[in-house]
Every structure is written in structure tokens, then in C-alpha cells.
Structure 1
């Protein structure tokens, strides 16, 4: 995998903090992770995101993070964000040419519909923080666009079987026209592994780093101590 950046923060991990943190578009120290570009495979693939029970055996490279398996587009970088207090992984970001994309999975009710509620709350919070927010319809339903200072944000959400997948991409306003496409491509090819354990609704599904990445971060932490 190469070198993956790590970042520590002590802010409370909730939906308000996440929106504010994404808008900061932090610097990244990471290795370029590339994958094959196969247009023919893209044309024949089923549309995702996928539950693990329905995931296609397409042989596409994905980063296995335990609860989600996400594609890393050719030429992108990967950044791991750590929680300073407990040392757990808070998020894994994919930094593309058009912005920093983050895909997160949450426990959801069997009845679905969680993204509608979350998107409404998120839009209200962003507006209360001074962002310019618009709502529209996208590939999976509601999409939110927001402008926070010089940063453009796009949020998408997908309701799955007992899970909700949320994707967000943050980047300069000059890339606002291209960023949503990059985000949708990542979300569309993501696989969610919900598991059978009962969880309260909105609980983030746990992230587990690949062994090579976890070992490198542990080495960095040891050098910094």
C-alpha cells in the first residue's frame, strides 16, 4: 500500500463535527494508490453500492475496511484519520483530483429511510453554521450541495438493508462541477458489510484497517513518541 497519512483530532465525533471537518479540506500525506482502468468492466457492471450478500464477484480492487470495501480510483491518495483520545480510526479519506471523498456506513432501521432524516438535519445544521445549502435529486435520491467559505461540499446517501451509506466530497469551488461525479463513482462501487450484531440506529459501522496500513501507522506512532 505504501505510505498512508494519519491525522489526530480530539473533536467530538458527531454529524456536526464531521461536516465542519470536511469543509476544512486538510492537507494529506499519503502514497498514490493506483488500480486498473477497465472501461469494458465498468460498462458491464451492476449498479451499487452493494450489500455484501449481493456484491458482484467482479475482481475489482477495493480497500477492505471491515464494514466497507471502497474502491480507490487510479491516481488517488488515501488518508487515515485517527481519534486522539482512544486511538481508533475515525475515518478513511480518498483524495482525488477533484476533492477529498469520505464514505461512511451506519446502522439503520429495517424500514429504511434514514438518509431522508439525516439529510434534513444536516442541511439545517450547515445553514445554521452559515453555509449556502441547496438540495436536489441524484442517483439515489436526495443530494446536498453546500458552500462553506471557499470549499464546495456534496453529500449523497443510500439506504440499504439495515445500513445507510453516506458519502461526502470536499474541494475547491473550481472543481464543484466534477466532484459529484467522482464521489458517485466511489459510492456506486462500494460494498457494505453490515454484520448481524444489533446496533442502535445511526451507530457508525466499525472501521478496520488492512494489516499493512495498520502496521505502518503503528510504526509512525512509535517514531513520534
Structure 2
């Protein structure tokens, strides 16, 4: 299911053109001008459609808390969290990840400073990259693992995907680091509420495939 904007009237189109995106790419905030591309509407996230990617909702109980995107022996975990209005979360989250995940090192990537190393999973490990993007009152955490963590060509496909993500924070009061609610494309929007916390070092939650 894709969400299309209604065609703009001439005056509206002129206003939209005047308010063209100041940045070349996202992730985008829903309230800022951004390209009108076909996207999968999951409530708090609108994801670009790529037929090569297998997009799934990650759930804890009956609440959707993140997205898993599978492609070319790799996975991308995405989660949007509420953030303070005055400051971002990536510096703080990056410090926590570095202390919990074992051997990680900082490097510069297409979204700024990221962490690279290995993800621990059930006593085993696999290469992983941790990317954080601070937005207006939201924080987007992207964890790339598997082949894409070490293969530039596969990673580039995920980078392009992340650059076209739209985050829908909404106006509801939310606690710091509370997951921004997600839903299936055919489900009505729900109220924001206190939800489970996402831990990228634990086994992934129950996965529901988007059909």
C-alpha cells in the first residue's frame, strides 16, 4: 500500500516549489518539504518502495516497535524514537552502544559519525554498523548487519533506502526515547503510548511480514 499526496493546485504548487528541500536527501521529517515518492505508510515511518527489499514489522506483543529490511544476505533494523526538542540523542546513544556492544570503532559515513564492528547474537557475532540520525524531536537508529556491513555496494542500497525515509513524529506528548508508534498499512492509526524499549543486542522480536 502506498501513500500519494493529492495533486497540488497551481498556487499550492508554486508555494511548494518555493519551499523546496534545503537538503539533497533525508531522512525527512514529515513536516518539511520532501520528494513526493511512493512510500509504504506505516504510521510513524513512511518507507520507500523497493521491490528487491523484504520489509517486515518487528513487534513485541501486539505493538510494532521497529522495521527489519532484508536484502542480499543483510539486514537493516530501523527504529524511530521520540527525542527532546532541545538536543539530539545520537551522541548519548553512541556512547551507550560503544560500552555494550564490545569492540566498536567510530568512522565517518554518509550520515555523519557512525559505529562499526560486530553485533553479538546468541554467543555468535556478525559484522554490523550503527547509524544514528537526529531529527526535530525524533531520533532514527539504523543498524546494518551482515554482508552490507562490509560490502560497499550492498551498503549503498541501504543508504539510498534510509535517505528516502520519512519520519512522522506527530504532536502527541511522548517520553524521551519512547518508540514512535508504527502500524500495518491497512490498520488505523493509534494513540502514542508507553511501549517496550528496543535493544539491538538481543534476539529480534516477533517479526510480522507486511503483505
How many residues matched? 165
State the TM-score, normalized to the length of structure 2.
0.69
SS at structure 1 position matched to 2:177: coil
- Tell me which residue corresponds to 1:147: 118
Whether 2:111 is the aligned partner of 1:136: answer no
- Which sections of structure 1, spanning at least 5 residues, go unmatched? 2-44, 219-225
- Tell me which residue corresponds to 1:67: 44
Matches of 1:169 and 1:202, distance apart in 2? 20
Q: Does the 8 Å contact 1:68/1:193 carry over to 2?
A: yes
Whether 2:79 is the aligned partner of 1:88: answer no
- Tell me which residue corresponds to 1:53: 31
Matches of 1:183 and 1:96, distance apart in 2? 9
State the TM-score, normalized to the length of structure 1.
0.65
How far is 1:118 from its partner?
A: 0.4
Moved over 3 A (4+): 172-180
Matches of 1:193 and 1:174, distance apart in 2? 27
- Which sections of structure 2, spanning at least 5 residues, go unmatched? 2-22, 188-207
Q: CA-atom RMSD, angstroms?
A: 2.6
More helix by share: 1
SS at structure 1 position matched to 2:68: strand
- Tell me which residue corresponds to 1:192: 167
How far is 1:176 from its partner?
A: 3.7
Matches of 2:150 and 2:143, distance apart in 1? 14
SS at structure 2 position matched to 1:112: coil
